[in-house]
Amino acid sequence: MRAIRDHLRRVSRPADARPGRRPPGAVTHPERTDDPAVLRWVVHGTELPFTGPLASAPGLDGLLGGDLEAVTVTPGAVLTTAAPGRSWRELGPRVRAALGTALGSVADWLPGPGARRLDADETLRWCARELIDGPVGRIATAHGGAIELVDAHDGVVRVRMHGACRGCPAAVVTMTQRLEAQLRRRVPDVRAVEQA
Amino acid sequence: MSSALSHHAHAGSADSGGGSPRIALIGSPNGGKTSVFNRLTGLHAKTGNYPGVTVSRSAGVARIGGAEYSIEDLPGTYSLSPISPDERLVAELLDGGVKGIGAPDGLLVVADSTALRRSLLLFAEVVQRHMPTALVLTMSDELTRRGGSIDTEALGRALGVPVVTVVANRGIGIGELRELITGWRDWSVPPVDPPTDTAELAGWVDSVLAAGGYEDPRADARTERIDRVLLHPVLGTVIFFAVMFGFFQAIFTWAAPLQDGVEDFFGWLAGLAAEHIGNPLLSSFVSDGLLGGVGGVLVFVPQIVMMYFILALLDAVGYMSRAAFLMDRLMSRFGLEGRAFVAVLSSFACAIPGVMATRTLPNSRDRIATMLGVPLATCSARLPVYILLVGILIPDGTRVGPFSGRGVAMFLLYLLGGVSALTASAVVKRITGRHDGVLPFYMEMPPYRIPTPRSVGIAMWEPTKAFLRKAGTIILATTIAIWALTTIPLRGDAELAAAGVDPGDEVAVTAYTMEHSAAAAIGKAIEPVFEPLGFDWRIDVALLGSLAAREVSVSTLGQMASALDPEDDSEVAQGLDGWTYTDGPRAGEKVFTPATTVALLLFFAFALQCMSTVAIMRRETGGWRWPSIAFGYMFVLAWVMAFLGRAVTLLIT
C-alpha cells in the first residue's frame, strides 16, 4: 500500500508526464473533412508506402467494399469513405482497430489503380497543396486574401499572396510562418516557405 | 425527505436561471478551472453543497451580450472512472444522475496547457458523453515561458471541438472564451469517439499532440531550484515548521488585537444600548442577546480572514502541495493525508477555520474524518476556561522540575487536544472507510507562481462571506436563545426585595434572575446526568451557556459566583473556590474539589460545546447528520473521560 502511494507520488511530478517509451498502439487520430462521408486519419511515425487508392491491406480488407466504400492513402494520412447510410460513431472504432492492424505491416499494402510512390518534391508539393486548400488557406480567405502555391522543390516551398494579404508584411509573415510550421509537422525536412 | 427533494429541485431550477443554458467547467485540480470560473462569473458565484454529499458546489452566472449563462465549476477531477467520491459525483452529474440537478447543456474542459497530455485523457472520456464540448487551454503564458508551444487551431482540428487559449489570472483570452460560450449550441461532438483501449488511447493522444504541434514544456528550473530546498528532508521540514509557526502565530496572536477590537466595540455598543434603552427586557435583549450574538459572530472574522489570507497566499504560490507532501508521512499514520494537517493546525486557533480548511482535501471521506476530529484540538476558546480551572486545581507556585506546574498542565492539555483530534480522525476514517478499497494518493506539485491579488482576494473573501451569511444566522439564533433562557422572566424590584436581593446590586440581581430562570430549571433538570461527575446545577448552566461559545462559561460561572468583575479570572476563581452545593445530599460541601475540577477540565477538553462549530459543520457537510454524530460522540467521550478523570483523582487524593 505504501509502495503504491510512493509510486503514484513519483508519477505525479509534472516531469514524468512526458512520453517515455512508445506505446504499442498506432499513432493516429481521425479528423473531419468537408465531406461528411470522408474521414481523414492522420498518421504519425509510420511512413505510408504510396499515394492513391488502396486495393488491399491487412485488417482493412474486412471493411473495404462493405462498410467502407473507398480507402485513399495520402502523405501522412489515410482517407476513409463510408458506404452510404453508415455512421462514423458506430463505424469509427472498427476502422480505427483495422487501421491499427494495417499500420503494423505497411509493406503488405497493395496499391489500387493510379496509386504510386511520390518522390520528396512531390510529397512536399502535395502536403503544401493540402494545407493551402485546407486550414491555412481558409484563414487567408477569412481575412480577404488568398495563397497560391508556386512550386515546391528541394525542401523549399514558394507561395504567392493575393487579395488583402498582398503587400501586407504582417500577413505575409504570419501566413508563411503558419504554413511552414504546419508543413514541418508533416514533412520534417522542409527548409523554408518563401514568397515568390 | 420529500421536502429535501423539493428543496433541491427548486435550487436546481433557480440555478438554471429560468432556462438559461448551463455550461459546466470540468478539469483536473490546480488546472486553472477556478480562475476561469471567477473570470466568467465575476463575484456572483453561489457556493453550497451537492445534495447528500460533502462536495461543495459553486455555480454562477455569466452575462454575455445581454444573455445569461449558468456556469458551474465542477469539482476537480482527473478522470471520469471515479476513484474518489468527488470524481464519482462529477461522473454522475454529467449523466444527469444527481437528484435535482440535470445534466449540463454544454461542457468546457479546462486543461492546463503545461500538462496537456494528462488533460487529454480526461477530454477523451468527456467527449464520449456526446454533449456539446469545447476545450479551454490555461496557463499558456507558463507553457511559453518554459519553452513549450501549442498550435491552438491545429489542436482544435485534431480534437474535433473548438479550442481557446486563456491566461485566466490576467484575463487574457477571456473575451474569446465568452464569445465561444454564446455559440455553445454549435460546439461540435467529434465524429468518432476517442478510443478506450489503453494502447489505442495512448496512440490517439500522441497523434493529436503531434498534429497540434505540441512541444512539452521544460521542467521549470526555478521550481526545481526552490524544491531542492523546500522538499529537502531536513531543511524542508525545518522551513515547514517555521512557516506553520508563523501561520499559527498569525491566526492565534496577530488576529487577537483585531478580535479584542471587535469585542470592545460591541461591548461599547452594548453599554450604550443598556444605558439608553428604558425598557429593561428590550435593553437586555439588545445589549446581551442581539449585540452579544452579533459580536460573538464577528469576533471570529479576523481569525478567519487572516487564516484564509495566508492559506490563499500559500496555495497560490504553490507551497501548500509541498507542505502536504512533507506532512503526508506523519498524517498517514492517522489514516489522513498531508493536506489535513493544515485543518488540524488551524483548529488550535479555532475549530471553525479548521472545519472550513477541510475544503482543501480532495476526498470527501477525508474531509468528514478530519472534520469530526478537529473540534477536539485545543482551540483558543478553551484557553480561558483552562486558565480558570487550572488556576483552581493547581496552587500558584507549584513546580514540576524547573517548570511551573500550571504551565505543564496547560502544555499537557494542548498535547491532549492534538493527540485526541488526530486519533478521533483516524478512528472515523477507519469506520467510514471499511467498505472502500485503497484510495491512491495523487498530488500535483504545481510550479511556483506569483499570485495575483485578485485570485488571493477571491479565495479569501468567499469563505468569509459564507461564514458571515450562514453561520452568522445560527450563532446569532443560539446566542439569543441562551440569552432568553437565562434572562426571562425578568424579576421586578418587589420580587427581588421580597427575596432579600438589593435591586441596586446588579450582580446580585443577575444571580437571582439566573437562579430562577428557565436555564436554571434546565440546569437542575439535567443535574442527574452530570451528578456522577460532581457538577452542580450552576456548572450545568455554565455548560449550557458554553454552547454559544466556550468562553461564555467563564462569564456565566463568574456571574453566578457573584464576583465583582466576571471577566477577571482570579476573582472568579476565588469566588468558585468558596462555592458549596446549595441543596441535595451534599449541601454545604465544597463544589470545586480537585476531582470535580479535573472532571470539568476533561469535559471541556472533549465535549463539542460550541454551536458555532456545529453550525459550520452543518454548512460544510450540507446536513445535520455529521454535526449530530460529532456532537453525540464527543458528549459521550467527554462524559466518560470526565468520569474516569474524577475517579482517578479521587483515588490519588
What is the number of H-type helices and E-type strands within chain B? 32, 9
In a domain, A155, yes or no: yes
The size of chain B, in residues, is 653
Which residue from A31, A96, A185 is facing B200, i.e. has the nearest CB?
A: A96
CB contact under 8 A, B211 and A29: yes
More confident residue, B552 or A108: A108
> Hey, how many other C-beta atoms are within 10 angstroms of the C-beta on B278?
6
CB contact under 8 A, B114 and A30: no
Quick one: A103 and A168 in the same domain?
no
In a domain, A102, yes or no: yes
The alpha-carbon gap from A67 to the nearest alpha carbon of chain B, in Å, equals 15
Q: How confident is the model at residue A30 (pLDDT cuts 50, 70, 90)?
A: very high
Mean pLDDT score of chain B, rounded to an integer?
79
Q: What is the pLDDT of residue B7?
A: 32
Quick one: A133 and A89 in the same domain?
no
Q: Is the pLDDT of residue A42 over 80?
A: yes
The complex's ipTM?
Answer: 0.80
Looking only at the bridges linking them, the beta strands covering A156-163 and A192-195 are parallel
CB contact under 8 A, B193 and A28: no
CB contact under 8 A, B117 and A100: no
Q: Looking at the complex, does the CB of residue A81 fall below 8 Å from at least one CB of chain B?
A: no
Least confident among B203-207, B399-403, B522-526: B399-403
Chain A, residues 145-174, CB within 8 A of chain B, namely none
CA–CA gap between residue B466 and residue B300 (Å, rounded):
13
Give the pLDDT confidence of B615-626 residue by residue, as tens digits.
Answer: 888 888 878 899
C-alpha separations of A77 from A39, A46, A72, B75, B160 in Å: 10, 10, 9, 38, 16
What is the phi-psi region of residue B192: left when phi exceeds 0, alpha when psi lies from -120 to 50, beta otherwise? beta
DSSP letter assigned to residue B218: P
Quick one: A33 and A93 in the same domain?
yes
Q: Looking at the complex, does the CB of residue A17 fall below 8 Å from at least one CB of chain B?
A: yes
Quick one: A63 and A99 in the same domain?
yes
Quick one: A104 and A124 in the same domain?
no
Q: pTM here? A: 0.67
Residue B637 identity:
L
In a domain, A139, yes or no: yes
**pLDDT, average across residues B174-185:** 90
CB contact under 8 A, B206 and A23: yes
Which of helix, strand or coil describes residue A52? strand
Q: Name, in order, each residue with C-beta under 8 angstroms of A152's C-beta and a sequence gap of 6 or more.
A: A121, A124, A125, A128, A158
DSSP letter assigned to residue B98: B
C-alpha separations of B216 from B112, B146, B169 in Å: 12, 9, 22
CB contact under 8 A, B203 and A28: yes
In a domain, A151, yes or no: yes
Residue A29 near residue B211 (C-beta atoms within 8 A): yes
Quick one: A174 and A143 in the same domain?
yes
CA–CA gap between residue B48 and residue B588 (Å, rounded):
54
Q: How confident is the model at residue A72 (pLDDT cuts 50, 70, 90)?
A: very high
Q: What is the pLDDT of residue A92?
A: 92
CB contact under 8 A, A182 and B151: yes
CA–CA gap between residue B21 and residue B99 (Å, rounded):
19
Give the pLDDT confidence of B39-60 residue by residue, as tens digits.
Answer: 888 766 666 656 555 566 788 8
Quick one: A145 and A175 in the same domain?
yes
- Residues from chain B that touch A19, judged by Cβ atoms under 8 A, are 117, 206
**pLDDT, average across residues B290-308:** 73
Last residue of a domain, one of A111, A142, A175: A111
Q: Is the pLDDT of residue B354 over 90?
A: no
**pLDDT, average across residues B351-360:** 80
Least confident among B134-138, B199-203, B457-461: B457-461
**pLDDT, average across residues B478-498:** 73
Quick one: A130 and A175 in the same domain?
yes
R_g over Cα of chain A: 20
- Residues from chain B that touch A25, judged by Cβ atoms under 8 A, are 195, 197-204
Percent of chain B whose pLDDT exceeds 70: 81
Grid cell at residue B575:
469566588
CA–CA gap between residue B277 and residue B505 (Å, rounded):
19
Residue A189 identity:
D
- Residues from chain A that touch B439, judged by Cβ atoms under 8 A, are none
In a domain, A180, yes or no: yes
Residue B109 near residue B123 (C-beta atoms within 8 A): yes
CA count, 13 A, side-chain hemisphere, B609: 29
Q: Is the pLDDT of residue B517 over 90?
A: no
> Which of B28, B78, B200 to mutate to test binding with chain A, by most A CBs within 10 Å of its CB?
B200
CA–CA gap between residue B230 and residue A11 (Å, rounded):
19
Grid cell at residue B259:
478580535
Q: What is the pLDDT of residue A55?
A: 92
Quick one: A34 and A83 in the same domain?
yes
Least confident among A158-172, B366-380, B559-573: B559-573
More confident residue, A53 or B445: A53
Q: Is the pLDDT of residue B410 over 50?
A: yes
CB contact under 8 A, A29 and B208: yes
More confident residue, B324 or B264: B264
CA–CA gap between residue B385 and residue B417 (Å, rounded):
14
Q: Is the pLDDT of residue B11 over 60?
A: no
Domains within chain B, CATH numbers bracketed: 2-218 (3.40.50.300), 235-250+294-432+451-465 (no CATH), 473-652 (no CATH)
Q: How confident is the model at residue B437 (pLDDT cuts 50, 70, 90)?
A: very low
CA–CA gap between residue A107 and residue A101 (Å, rounded):
12
The alpha-carbon gap from B217 to the nearest alpha carbon of chain A, in Å, equals 9
Q: How confident is the model at residue A81 (pLDDT cuts 50, 70, 90)?
A: very high
Q: How confident is the model at residue B252 (pLDDT cuts 50, 70, 90)?
A: low
End-to-end CA distance of chain B: 54
Quick one: A125 and A106 in the same domain?
no
Q: What is the pLDDT of residue A141?
A: 83
End-to-end CA distance of chain A: 65
Give the pLDDT confidence of B576-598 residue by residue, as tens digits.
Answer: 777 777 666 776 777 788 899 99
Calculate helix-pair angle for B301-317, B235-249, nearest 10 degrees.
150
CB contact under 8 A, B447 and A14: yes
Q: What are phi and psi of A66, to 5 degrees?
A: -110, -95
DSSP H or E stretch at residue A140? helix A135-142
In a domain, A170, yes or no: yes
CB contact under 8 A, A25 and B202: yes
CA–CA gap between residue B98 and residue B494 (Å, rounded):
63
**pLDDT, average across residues A134-140:** 83
Q: What is the DSSP string of B398-465?
A: -EETTEEHHHHHHHHHHHHHHHHHHHHHHHHHHHHTTT--PPPP----PPP-PPPHHHHHHHHHHHHH
Percent of chain B whose pLDDT exceeds 90: 14
Q: Name, in order, each residue with C-beta under 8 angstroms of B368's C-beta and a sequence gap of 6 or more.
A: B54, B428, B432, B621, B626
- Residues from chain A that touch B325, judged by Cβ atoms under 8 A, are 9
- Residues from chain B that touch A36, judged by Cβ atoms under 8 A, are 191
C-alpha separations of B601 from A127, B393, B410, B491, B643 in Å: 82, 10, 11, 33, 11
Domain of residue A144: give its range. Answer: 120-195
Which residue from B158, B203, B213 is facing A181, i.e. has the nearest CB?
A: B213
Q: What is the CATH number of the domain that holds A106?
A: 3.30.1370.70
- Residues from chain A that touch B153, judged by Cβ atoms under 8 A, are 135, 139
- Identify the sign of the CA torsion B8, B14, B20, B21: negative
Q: Is the pLDDT of residue B98 over 60?
A: yes
Query: Which residues are B48's β-sheet partners?
Result: B57
Q: Looking at the complex, does the CB of residue A15 fall below 8 Å from at least one CB of chain B?
A: yes
Which of helix, strand or coil describes residue B290? helix
Q: What is the pLDDT of residue A102?
A: 92
Q: What is the pLDDT of residue B522?
A: 83
In a domain, A34, yes or no: yes
CB contact under 8 A, A17 and B210: no
Mean pLDDT score of chain A, rounded to an integer?
82
Quick one: A92 and A53 in the same domain?
yes
More confident residue, A165 or A1: A165
**pLDDT, average across residues B220-228:** 84
Q: What is the pLDDT of residue B49?
A: 57
**pLDDT, average across residues B467-483:** 69
Q: What is the CATH number of the domain that holds A135?
A: 3.30.300.130
Q: How confident is the model at residue A53 (pLDDT cuts 50, 70, 90)?
A: very high
Least confident among B212-226, B447-461, B557-571: B557-571
Q: What is the pLDDT of residue B12?
A: 37
Least confident among A65-69, A120-124, B565-569: B565-569
Q: Is the pLDDT of residue A13 over 70?
A: no
In a domain, A15, yes or no: no
C-alpha separations of B185 from B27, B189, B342 in Å: 21, 11, 43
Q: Cell 472533549 sits at which residue? A: B606
> Which of B155, B206, B214 to mutate to test binding with chain A, by most A CBs within 10 Å of its CB?
B206
Last residue of a domain, one of A111, A142, A171: A111
Least confident among A184-193, B38-47, B344-353, B438-447: B438-447
Which of helix, strand or coil describes residue B498? helix
Grid cell at residue B355:
472545519
Q: Cell 458546489 sits at which residue? A: B57
Percent of chain A whose pLDDT exceeds 70: 85
Which of helix, strand or coil describes residue B139? coil
Q: How many domains is chain A partitioned into structurally?
A: 2
Residue B84 near residue B363 (C-beta atoms within 8 A): yes
Quick one: A107 and A129 in the same domain?
no
Last residue of a domain, one of A65, A87, A111: A111
Q: Cell 433541491 sits at which residue? A: B8
Residue B316 identity:
A
Q: How confident is the model at residue A69 (pLDDT cuts 50, 70, 90)?
A: very high
